[in-house]
């Protein structure tokens, strides 16, 4: 793996970036007072409710609630993960992203070479698309696609093309110099015999370009038109293509859905394309490999539900079991994995044509849960009619359950396991009751309401001002929230953190501050506070900031008075406490 991106670089990048400039390159903005506006790119609307603040380096939609800084926008709009969004933003400003050294001795990536590789792959993909329309022998390829029931629209959507039958079509077109021939060879677009003769790797095949999460073409899958071996020929591993980490169709699925409620894993390219034509545009396929732990991890970053679709025969059940074992370490509370087994002789392509979109979706709804599939398989291997069988069943089942991350999932599966082995489930019931009580307690103390003038406490207002004007922390040295640590005030710990951050980073903007607090447990509350317009004139900022602090002092003094009065009702106060109470009452 590549090393982490240094935090200092991210801070500098967000500081350098202009959120208006970046968003305007994707969504046309119009000036509206101090801010900029547009129709929201995240939901359909006719009247603009999407606002971008250049001062705060922050965006917010008053229609759907989408909000964040420049990196958040790239994550949401371009369907990127955090490191990729940072790289995209850096490339926008022609900057190279540094990486911290890791424990792996990984050769340094040549960025220019990488860009050249992506560009060449894109050109070759366009060449294959053109050949599907214009090559003298392309009629057979077009007839094959029609026979498989694919429309011209879906073929274009996935960029499907045709590799001509000639030995050197790609070589002649792109290998115009020794350097480009070597690049074609490195990317496995051409190959070389033992005698040194070079020729095209893909010939007379339907071509499926494989895109990474950012939409860059990194490899190809080629299918024979009729009979022949291998039926599917995939690009070998190259410096930009690692099939154990990539999934065909994931880029298209993420483009089709801002939030992927579920992802369906199937076995072939044609299954993904055919399902897409029938409106099931959330299918992906592994690239000639079993479903790997990296595939599972990748998908659970994008969705909460994975459905694995396999043949119902023995080979399909074995593949599903391997997928289950690979998924267990990534099962946290809130995500689930399910299994759909197809009737004999059917694949997703043929089945969806028989039963249609809704019929297929109904089957997805009825897919087998991970727990049911797991215990079904364990029962086939162990006879729980005997004590020995129960012990073996319990040992293997518990070993699998122990790999799961989510405590709630572990608890529920352990209860189910105990029922099969006849154990007393009282202790598990007790654990579950305690866990539910804790969750209720947490829910009662947390809130997602957007702040309003009526419910903004002094602490929240201090936080709100520091989010926009961190310099207040150093401009008002007498305002030190650390002095109130003894008060049980909601948000006080967060205020102390922000105050400390402001002292060390007085000149950062709101976007930078939110980026630094991205992983903070209360980032959602911070983001909501930023949306609230405080309407405080700049010349009044310090006085309002000090007044809020004065209110906290009053609160602290009142709290101490209440404490001493309560104590006096059950026991005598000491002379010192009486004197303290007298002084406090005179304030």
Q: Mind listing the pLDDT tens digit for each residue in 165-224?
A: 999 999 999 999 999 999 999 999 999 988 889 999 999 999 999 999 888 999 999 999
Does the pLDDT at position 440 exceed 50?
no
587 Cβ neighbours under 8 A, 6+ residues apart: 557
Domains of the chain by start residue, with CATH: 7-92 (3.90.580.10), 111-241 (3.90.980.10), 253-374 (3.40.1360.10), 387-445 (no CATH), 458-586 (1.10.860.10)
Mean pLDDT over each residue of the chain, to the nearest integer: 85
Q: How far is CA 477 from the centre of its chain?
A: 41
Q: What angle do CA 379, 262, 342 make, to 5 degrees?
A: 50
Question: Tens digit of pLDDT for each residue in 478-532?
Answer: 888 887 766 666 788 888 899 999 999 998 889 889 888 888 888 888 888 888 7
pLDDT value of residue 568: 67
pLDDT value of residue 447: 41
Alpha-carbon distance of 457 to 489, in angstroms, equals 10
Q: Which two tokens stand for residue 430?
A: 């007790």
SS3 of 294-362: the string is: HHHHHHHCCECEEEEEEECCHHHHHHHHHHHHHHHHHCCCCCEEEEEEECCCCCHHHHHHHHHHHHHHH
Q: What angle do CA 479, 485, 488 make, to 5 degrees?
A: 115
Q: Which of 109-118, 230-239, 266-275, 438-447 has the lowest mean pLDDT?
A: 438-447
């Amino acid at each position: 793996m590549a090393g982490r991106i240094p935090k200092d670089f991210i801070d500098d990048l967000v500081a350098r970036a202009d959120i208006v400039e970046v968003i305007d390159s994707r969504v046309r903005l119009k000036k509206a007072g101090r801010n900029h506006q547009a129709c929201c790119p995240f939901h359909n609307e006719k009247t603009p409710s999407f606002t971008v603040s250049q001062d705060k380096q922050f965006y917010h939609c008053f229609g759907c609630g989408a909000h964040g800084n420049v990196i958040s926008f790239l994550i949401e709009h371009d369907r990127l993960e955090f490191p990729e969004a940072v790289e995209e933003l850096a490339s926008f400003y022609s900057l190279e992203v540094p990486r911290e050294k890791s424990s792996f001795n990984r050769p340094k990536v040549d960025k220019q070479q990488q860009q050249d590789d992506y560009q060449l792959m894109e050109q070759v993909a366009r060449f294959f698309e053109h050949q599907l329309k214009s090559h003298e022998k392309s009629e057979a390829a077009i007839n094959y696609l029609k026979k498989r029931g694919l429309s011209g629209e879906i073929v274009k959507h996935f960029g499907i093309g045709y590799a001509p039958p000639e030995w050197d079509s790609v070589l002649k077109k792109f290998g115009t110099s020794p350097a480009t021939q070597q690049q074609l060879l490195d990317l496995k677009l051409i190959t070389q015999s033992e005698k040194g003769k070079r020729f095209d790797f893909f010939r007379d095949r339907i071509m499926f370009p494989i895109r990474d999460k950012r939409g860059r073409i990194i490899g190809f899958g080629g299918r024979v038109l009729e009979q022949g071996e291998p039926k599917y020929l995939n690009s070998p591993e190259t410096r930009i293509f690692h099939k154990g980490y990539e999934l065909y169709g994931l880029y298209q699925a993420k483009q089709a859905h801002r939030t992927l409620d579920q992802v369906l894993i199937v076995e072939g390219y044609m299954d993904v394309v055919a399902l897409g034509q029938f409106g099931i545009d959330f299918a992906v396929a592994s690239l000639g490999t079993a479903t790997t732990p990296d595939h599972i991890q990748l998908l659970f970053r994008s969705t909460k539900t994975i459905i694995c679709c396999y043949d119902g025969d023995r080979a399909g059940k074995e593949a599903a079991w391997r997928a289950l074992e690979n998924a267990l370490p990534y099962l946290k509370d809130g995500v689930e994995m399910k299994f759909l087994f197809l009737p004999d002789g059917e694949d997703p392509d043929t089945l969806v044509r028989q039963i249609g979109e809704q019929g297929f979706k109904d089957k997805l709804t009825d897919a087998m849960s991970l727990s049911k599939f797991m215990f079904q398989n364990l029962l086939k291997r162990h006879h729980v009619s005997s004590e020995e069988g129960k012990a073996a069943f319990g040992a293997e089942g518990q070993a699998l359950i122990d790999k799961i991350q989510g405590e709630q999932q572990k608890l529920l599966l352990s209860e189910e396991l105990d029922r099969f082995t006849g154990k007393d489930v009282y202790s598990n019931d007790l654990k579950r009751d305690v866990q539910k009580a804790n969750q209720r307690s947490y829910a009662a103390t947390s809130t997602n309401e957007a702040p309003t003038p009526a419910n903004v406490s002094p602490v929240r207002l201090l936080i709100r001002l520091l989010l926009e004007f961190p310099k207040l922390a150093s401009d008002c040295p007498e305002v030190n929230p650390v002095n109130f640590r003894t008060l049980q005030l909601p948000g006080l710990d967060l205020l102390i953190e922000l105050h400390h951050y402001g002292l060390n980073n007085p000149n950062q903007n709101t976007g930078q501050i939110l980026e630094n607090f991205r992983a903070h447990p209360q980032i959602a509350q911070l983001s909501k506070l930023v949306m609230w317009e405080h309407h405080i004139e700049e010349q009044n900022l310090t006085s309002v900031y000090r007044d809020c602090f004065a209110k906290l002092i009053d609160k602290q003094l009142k709290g101490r008075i209440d404490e001493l009065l309560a104590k006096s009702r059950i026991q005598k106060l000491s002379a010192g406490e009486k004197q303290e109470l007298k002084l406090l009452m005179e304030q």
